[in-house]
Structure 1
């Protein structure tokens, strides 16, 4: 038998070991997290209370905001806690739980973005059939499909993760538990796990990306056929916010998982994770509220009603 101690907890090194810098980072990321919560909750509330926004497009947007809150809340609170603690430990079960929810919400968000692209495609290319093809029941089924797929894929990841042994170094050079980092410190053969995850992950990720790109290619061809310049500008402007969110989502993921790895690239590996888990959930509601006149109008109406009720 090997004289090895089974690891029961991991140490998350985080973004910095400098105490003064940690305080600064705590304040900065706490502010970003609060903006994320407020921004996405505002989007959800305004969509729920404004009758003009009770359409499939905004119904999907409210679920995107919900996933942004969930994804950010899985990683950021623990990171903030570790900024203030000397021992930055997380139990192995807590780490696996974090992996499960990160994968679940990440895959769910990617599939939801493809559903939103399909929604735009139907709205622009088949406007007369939109209310039939994208009614509330269809939207609910597509959202459930995205979330259930994310749940099952995350469950598979977690089950495979529990088959690995961790008996060597327990230090994770990251601010959260991620599969690539856990594979690096496992004393088991992770190749079968990586192959299964890579195969299914590529199928889901590339499948969602293909559906998204296919929808926008059809949209572009349809918009180019519009005779008026104003009509083209309005159609492209309407889709721009969603395209920006899609680029942020896939850009950070592709950079994180497809770039060559090296022993001296710990900071480079954390950078896209900071963008994906922390900055993107904050930016998404800002992008949608700034580019979407209906959302801006709804937010202003909600603020106006709140001010009037407080003044009474």
Structure 2
């Protein structure tokens, strides 16, 4: 017996409605969608949780302490507002610490980044025993900073130090490394450079190895020698890595503590505070004078200085990169 119902074609409205009817997603499909959307945030969440616990909370709590009278024994006292900040800013020792910190930072960071660039370029060349030399530059970073400070403190001793003995043999007047302001800053900056140059070298070396070799081959065909390739190819391609190294060196250089603390046996930043840094000043306020409120105020001022210098570094590097990109565009237009 034949059926009287006519089949519905795909082109008919009823057939299209059936085809367009959305299927309900199953539970496994929903889990898969949630996994794609949520899992990246779960992977990066441990960093932000640790940052909140170890970074953001101490920063905010330090700000809370800085607006109170806070002692080691009595604890929290009365609310004083910005009195701790004004008191600190009126003290001459604070400005000495700022001067010393900025001086040591400049004497260490600028030569450190320059030496790291040169050493990374040498290690990127076709050398024998590459692994040995690359691991060798990281050895000073592994040494404890206290040991480095003690060794260099003896080397830069005013009377019997190795450096002054070499100067005497060369007929050069000896230097009072612990008494003179600039000399003490150079000695401390030497310790910092000894410790951190290898660390920055490996960062820049990793960035150099990521540069495509085709660019160097094209520059070689155009007649560029190794020096020209370094300044015209390597440094422009290393701009992101150099910016990262500058920012980390700025933060670390302004927070220097171990080297000036261990430069002499007293740890007070010199007889006239000639190499007292801001972090050492915070330590003296907090533990020697038992005034946590003023120590917290200096800590917040140091934080603001780091932020300000970081913003200046960012603006300078951004302007340099924009000028370089504008110059490349003008050259393309002329060509």
Normalised TM-score (structure 2): 0.26
Structure label with greater radius of gyration: 2
Q: Which has the higher contact order (CA 8 A, sep 6+)?
A: 1
Q: Higher helix share goes to which structure?
A: 1
Normalised TM-score (structure 1): 0.27
